Amino acid sequence: MPESVSSSIIECSAVQLRAFLGRTANLPQISDPDLELEILAAPEIVTLGRRIEFRITAYGFKQRATHEYVNVEDMQIIEDQVEGPLRAWKHAQQIEIITASQCRLTDRVEFVPPGGMLGYMLTEAKVLTSIQDGMQIRYDALNEIIRSGNMS
């Protein structure tokens, strides 16, 4: 299964970052704006076994997906795709404490590209590039939110 691993140092406490990532309403703020992430249904707080339904725009097509939170801990959130355009998608977010006011966020995404006609557009290479670009946008957005004092 193809995998992308991205990591960044975040200038806030691990507890603050985990609380921010655990509120589903915050996800559009740290997502690639080109994806036009729209949350359709989700728990307010990420909870084990709960699902998040959302829609994104990719390559000019609106895609609907449902992910389930399969591991929710103090320093880790893992979600698996239940329904969506890819044949498989697993996203693990791991937080490591560096100091009291600094932590490392590591995002590990495993996926299987779609089949059929969509697979010609969403090749493994394109999905990997999209993930890597999206993670950089995510880390930049997180750092901007922290700098502006809007981490809630």
Instruction: Work out the average pLDDT over 101-129.
Output: 90
- On whether residue 84 sits in a domain, the answer given is yes
pLDDT digits (tens, 9 = 90+) for 4-23: 999 999 999 999 999 999 99
Say what the pLDDT of residue 103 is: 98
List the CATH number of the domain containing 123. Answer: 3.30.530.20
- On whether residue 152 sits in a domain, the answer given is no
pLDDT of residue 152 exceeding 70 = no
Range of the domain at 7: 3-147
pLDDT digits (tens, 9 = 90+) for 30-70: 999 999 999 999 999 999 999 999 999 977 789 999 999 99
Say what the pLDDT of residue 150 is: 85
- For the chain, what is the HEC assignment? CCEEEEEEEECCCHHHHHHHHCEHHHHHHHCCHHHCCEEEECCCECCCCCEEEEEEEECCEEEEEEEEEEEECCCEEEEEEEECCCCEEEEEEEEEEEECCEEEEEEEEEEECCCHHHHHHCCHHHHHHHHHHHHHHHHHHHHHHHHCCCCC
- On whether residue 53 sits in a domain, the answer given is yes
Say what the pLDDT of residue 95 is: 98
pLDDT of residue 120 exceeding 80 = no
- On whether residue 62 sits in a domain, the answer given is yes
- On whether residue 44 sits in a domain, the answer given is yes
pLDDT of residue 151 exceeding 90 = no
The tally of domains found in the chain comes to: 1
- On whether residue 52 sits in a domain, the answer given is yes
Average pLDDT of the residues of the chain: 94
- On whether residue 23 sits in a domain, the answer given is yes
